[in-house]
Amino acid sequence: TTAAKLGRYLAKRGRKPLLVSADPERPAAAEQLATLAGRLGLPWASADQDPLAQVPQVLVQARRNLQDVVILDTPGTPPGLPPPAFLPALLSQIEPSDVLLVVDALTGQEALRVAEVFQPLGLTGIVLTKLDGDARGGAALSLPSRLGKPILFVGVGERPEDLEPFHPERMADRILGLGDLSGLVEKLQETGAAERAAKALKEGEFTLEDFLAQLEAVRRAGPLGQLLARLPGFARPEEDELEREFKKMKAIIQSMTVEERRNPHIIGASRKRRIARGSGTTVQDVNRLLAEYEQAKKLMKELGRRKFPGGKMPFPR
């Protein structure tokens, strides 16, 4: 759920979140949140039986445990129906610092109707989910103007790490098909890839061993198709095709000797033929990898100069 993703986001930035299920309308709500919290190593509590009575008790316990953020996961509402009856009273009782509305980007006009129903509850921001598919976030254009509240986060996938701060200029680029290079840079920097590459460049030559490490880092940063879809002019490629290409590049590098990986300039025609035979590829594949390696050297040098803007919560105060 978005609550668990938000908890992970805050924990990665030094906060101590507590996830709380406050959804008496869905029997499996607490179980689902408990499962997600367990995977992420985050504490959780249930207030499903009687949120009005239980949530204040949970808040007291959170203060005792020095948990500085409590995230309440409350029920969703289908379009046309009012919010759960207990919710206005609960919000009045606990006076939260933020009330975030989670909206599915794929629902179009229905998202607007849901948002308007929740508007009287004192919303402070919006989380727009499911921006990882073909939808470019058209609903994002009208929600802030209709509600007078900003979009704070966007969900770009199913994994816990697929929640990102919202940047209007990047959304504009996405809608126009211009890509999201800044978002791609941040994804790579979260893995530490840029910093390690910059260190390698400062200490000496950026080798093919370093290049292979960067490929592994990109792979860990998320589904390759999702990352490449951020590049201008790229349609979202098939994951299977990208995975095959990654394995081919890895096989080529691993078919080189240690000397060749550390000194690529010595790789001449005869060495390329040997590497191609050893990796089950062609000389053209080897040439293409070496060209991509040279491009990666330039890119990693640029990424190493940039700072990842983590730390502060993008909540209005």
Rounded to an integer, what distance in angstroms lies between the CA atom of residue 11 and that of residue 19?
A: 11
Do residues 100 and 128 lie in contact, with contact meaning Cβ atoms separated by under 8 Å? no
Asked if the model's pLDDT at residue 21 lies above 60, the reply is yes
Tokens of residue 258, six digits: 């240690």
CB-CB contact of 78 with 113 (8 Å):
no
Most confident range, picked from 51-65, 70-84, 109-123: 51-65
Contact indicator for 164, 12 with CB cutoff of 8 Å? no
Q: For residue 30, is pLDDT > 80?
A: yes
Dig out the tokens for 110 from the structure: 């229905």
Q: Does 191 score more than 60 pLDDT?
A: no
Radius of gyration of the chain (CA): 24
How many Å apart are CA 99 and CA 147, to the nearest integer?
13
- Choose between 131 and 175: higher pLDDT: 131
Phi, psi angles (nearest 5°) of residue 222: 150, 175
> How far is Cα 276 from Cα 280, in angstroms, rounded to an integer?
6
Percent of the chain with pLDDT over 90: 40
- Side-chain-side CA neighbours of 38 within 13 Å: the count stands at 6
Residue 25's pLDDT is what? 84
Question: Which pLDDT value is given to residue 220?
Answer: 64
Q: What is the dihedral angle through the alpha carbons of 227, 232, 235, 238, rounded to the nearest 10 degrees?
A: -30
Residue 36 confidence (pLDDT):
94
Q: Is the pLDDT of residue 232 over 60?
A: no
**pLDDT value at 175 more than 60:** no
**Could you give the domains of the chain?**
2-177 (3.40.50.300), 189-303 (1.10.260.30)
Question: How much is the pTM?
Answer: 0.59
List 18's β-bridge partners, or say none: 70
Q: Decide if pLDDT at 109 tops 80.
A: no
Residues 51 and 55: their CA atoms lie apart, in Å, by: 5
236 Cβ neighbours under 8 A, 6+ residues apart:
134, 225, 226, 228, 229
pLDDT higher at 233 or 191 = 191
Closest by CA to 64, choosing from 43, 79, 92, 50, is 43
The whole-number average pLDDT for the span 197-218 is 69
Provide the mean pLDDT of the chain.
Answer: 79
pLDDT at 95 over 90: yes
* Mean of pLDDT values over 246-263: 92
pLDDT at 188 over 80: no
**CA–CA distance, 45 with 29 (Å, rounded to integer):** 11
